[in-house]
Amino acid sequence: MPYLQQILFIILLGSAILFFTIKVRDIRANINLGRDENYSDRPAERWKNVLLLAFGQKKMFRKPLVALLHFIIYAGFLIINIEVLEIILDGLLGSHRLFAPPLGAFYHFVINFFEFLAAGVLLGCVIFLIRRNWLKIRRFRSRDLAGWPRTDANLILITEIILMTLLLTMNATDTLLQQRGFAGYADHYTGNFVVSGFIQPLFGTMSESTLAVTERTAWWLHITGILVFLNYLPFSKHLHIILAFPNAYYTRLPPKGQMKNMPSVQNEVLYAMQPELAPSGAAAPEKFGAKDVQDLSWRNLLDAYSCTECGRCSSACPATQTGKLLSPRKIMMDTRDRMEEIRKNIHQNKGNFKEDGKSLLHNYITAEELRACTTCNACVEECPVSISPLEIILELRRSLIMEESNAPAEWNAMNANIENNFAPWKFNPDDRDQWITQTPTS
């Protein structure tokens, strides 16, 4: 019987690792669809960002209470999973609490620490579940979260509540069996743990055999839940639990709000004004801006997978708040959805992408959304994991205007004035010294 349990556990663990590896490989391939960009400069600053933004969640602490609860859940997720190492080794070796004998009294301290974190995670998830569904917070009720995104957020919170409950149940029944000297449990007496000790009376009337079944059931459901959760992450917005770290490292170091010019456009203007500088036989740029995800940089695509869908970008966006169609959160979600569609296409066509007549621009993100952006940079400032929806918006808008000549008449008139008069207004540039100093009459 013990060998059968070990075999079942090995099959479960191997399957979970295999499926997770396959999905991670697909995500990596999707990110690599983007254009190459170099983010290897200033490594010291980048590691500092990892510590402050990913580990320390610096931007979250603009709202201290929410940030503290989120930090407890996040720290709990990272630290409690250290215990998973013992559970996995117990499952593989057929042992029970493998680390208890070598760690001695320190083992009791470690498990107590884990239990305090588990209680914090459980409480935090309950509060966030209530906050997300019963408090009328606008960014949790907006139209871009309709359907699966809203269900996804709730499902993760409920799953974490169940996992923490199973952990405490497992410890409470385990220590009761140790006290009663039940075979297989009395060998390593650890004493009661602080949090699970409070719920021991719920199981006190159970027989030893029922307690053993309850403990084993909680053990199996806990580790199975963790492995299922691991494989669910790549399909969920909660992939940011993992990608927040590389996203923080590869964050943009230039000052926030500094926009990237297109060298190809700058050179075209330069060569038009100074033709003697134009290299002989220089090829014209293939395209301007981005129409599909392959035209964006890999950094933009990493952003899309790192998006937490928290909506802080959209709640700060003046276009969103005034009822316009634009939502920076939706820009990131649409980019991710388009990547997933392309990957399905590649799989269906045996490793090659077959043109499907769709693109990120128009099929997922409309011209109306792009035109609503004021480039105020509020979305970038607010994002807790350093995502830039603005970069994607600008690249798509460049394609819209420079490739398709698709711009409102007002924009075209302004651009023509800038080109001809060096100002947005239709005044003779030779008279600039007159009209620029004129005082408007009342």
* All domains of the chain in start order, with CATH: 2-31+63-249 (1.20.950), 263-276+284-427 (1.10.1060)
Going by pLDDT thresholds of 50, 70 and 90, the confidence category of residue 148 is confident
Q: Which residues have a Cβ under 8 Å from the Cβ of 159 and sit 6 or more positions away?
A: 225, 229, 232
pLDDT at residue 329 is higher than 80: yes
**Is 13 or 82 the better-scoring residue by pLDDT?**
13
358/8 Cα distance (integer angstroms): 45
pTM of this structure: 0.84
**Is 138 or 206 the better-scoring residue by pLDDT?**
206
CB 344 within 8 A of CB 399: no
Task: State mean pLDDT over 142-170.
Answer: 88
Task: State mean pLDDT over 394-419.
Answer: 87
The share of the chain scoring above pLDDT 90, in percent, equals 45
Structural tokens at position 262 = 């297109």
281/191 Cα distance (integer angstroms): 81
406/98 Cα distance (integer angstroms): 66
Length of the chain: 442
- b/e map of 214-234 (b: 16 or more CB within 10 Å)? bbeebbbbbbebbbebbbbbb
Residue 296's CB is within 10 A of a number of other CB atoms, namely 26
CB 392 within 8 A of CB 331: yes
Average per-residue pLDDT for the chain: 87
The DSSP symbol for 423 reads: S
Residue 165's CB is within 10 A of a number of other CB atoms, namely 16
Q: What are phi and psi of 35, to 5 degrees?
A: -65, 150
Cα 168 off chain centre by = 29
> Given CA atoms 167, 169, 172, 177 in this order, what sign does their dihedral have?
negative
Please give the helix or strand (H or E) that residue 93 lies within, else none. Answer: helix 82-93
**To which residue do tokens 């839940």 refer?**
225
Structural tokens at position 12 = 């479960």
pLDDT at residue 108 is higher than 70: yes
Task: State mean pLDDT over 239-267.
Answer: 83
> Given CA atoms 251, 252, 256, 261 in this order, what sign does their dihedral have?
negative
Q: What are phi and psi of 57, to 5 degrees?
A: 50, 50
The DSSP symbol for 323 reads: T
Query: What pLDDT sits at residue 123?
Result: 92
| Model pLDDT for residues 213-233, shown as the tens digit of each residue | 999 999 999 999 999 999 999
- 82-93 helix and 208-232 helix, angle to the nearest 10 degrees: 120
Query: What pLDDT sits at residue 343?
Result: 95
Task: State mean pLDDT over 246-272.
Answer: 80
The Cβ-side half-sphere exposure at 221, using a 13 Å CA radius, reads 18
Query: What pLDDT sits at residue 24?
Result: 94
* Helical spans, DSSP H, in 233-297: 240-249, 263-273
Q: Which residue(s) pair with 361 in the sheet?
A: 365
Query: What pLDDT sits at residue 439?
Result: 57
Query: What pLDDT sits at residue 388?
Result: 92
Q: What are phi and psi of 12, to 5 degrees?
A: -60, -50
296/5 Cα distance (integer angstroms): 48
Going by pLDDT thresholds of 50, 70 and 90, the confidence category of residue 435 is low
- 64-80 helix and 105-133 helix, angle to the nearest 10 degrees: 130
Query: What pLDDT sits at residue 415?
Result: 82
Query: What pLDDT sits at residue 371?
Result: 93
CB 392 within 8 A of CB 252: no
Task: State mean pLDDT over 129-150.
Answer: 82
| Model pLDDT for residues 334-392, shown as the tens digit of each residue | 999 999 999 999 999 988 899 999 999 999 999 999 999 999 999 998 898 889 999 99
Please spell the DSSP secondary structure of 210-251, one letter per residue.
HHHHHHHHHHHHHHHHHHHHHHHGGGSGGGHHHHHHHHHHT-
Structural tokens at position 186 = 């009395």
Query: What pLDDT sits at residue 441?
Result: 56
Instruction: Name the least confident of 285-294, 391-400, 415-424, 429-438.
Output: 429-438
Query: What pLDDT sits at residue 282?
Result: 62
Query: What pLDDT sits at residue 440?
Result: 58
Query: What pLDDT sits at residue 300?
Result: 94
pLDDT at residue 11 is higher than 70: yes
Going by pLDDT thresholds of 50, 70 and 90, the confidence category of residue 437 is low
172/200 Cα distance (integer angstroms): 5
Nearest to 390, CA basis, from 306, 329, 433: 329
Structural tokens at position 209 = 């055999």
CB 250 within 8 A of CB 46: yes
Task: State mean pLDDT over 186-191.
Answer: 71
